[in-house]
């Protein structure tokens, strides 16, 4: 069974860049890596998705090394409203299923 791990929590100050890493050692060849943000009492909200190297959109960047066994979500210049739990999501195709595995989640707290 694939295991996907993240740091439990991180603190940052407003305006700083935050990097959150996810380890996904058993990622399959065809699987993509997706990151979500979740606020209390809400469903996960899509942030960014990538397959390899670097992807950037208007809110974040995603760095994926060549071996794809990890990925790093980068949030530039965080604000108080970025306080949330962040999850990576990868497929579990090596086990022959359509299953997806969420990371353990990183609770980000942004301080003023």
Q: Which residues bind another protein (CB under 8 A)?
A: 30-32, 34, 36, 41-46, 49, 51, 87, 89, 91-93, 97-105
What does the alpha-carbon distance between residue 84 and residue 66 come to, in Å, rounded to a whole number? 29
Tell me if 89 sits within 8 A of 73, measured CB to CB.
Answer: no
- Two tokens, residue 2: 């694939």
Tell me how far, at minimum, the Cβ of 94 lies from another protein, in Å: 13
Closest CB to another protein among residues 78, 101: 101
Tell me how far, at minimum, the Cβ of 15 lies from another protein, in Å: 28
Closest CB to another protein among residues 33, 75: 33
Coil, strand or helix at 105:
coil
Q: How many residues does the chain have?
A: 112
Tell me how far, at minimum, the Cβ of 106 lies from another protein, in Å: 10
- Two tokens, residue 72: 């790093």
């Amino acid at each position: 069974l694939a295991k996907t791990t993240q740091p439990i929590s991180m603190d940052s100050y407003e305006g700083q860049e935050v990097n959150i890493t996810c380890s996904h050692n058993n990622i399959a060849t065809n699987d993509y890596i997706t990151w979500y943000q979740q606020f209390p009492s809400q469903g996960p909200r899509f942030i960014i998705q990538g397959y390899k190297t670097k992807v950037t959109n208007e809110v974040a960047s995603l760095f994926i090394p060549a071996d794809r066994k990890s990925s790093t979500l980068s949030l530039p210049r965080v604000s108080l409203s970025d306080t949330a739990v962040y999850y990576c999501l990868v497929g579990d195709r090596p086990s022959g299923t359509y299953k997806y595995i969420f990371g353990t989640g990183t609770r980000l707290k942004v301080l003023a």
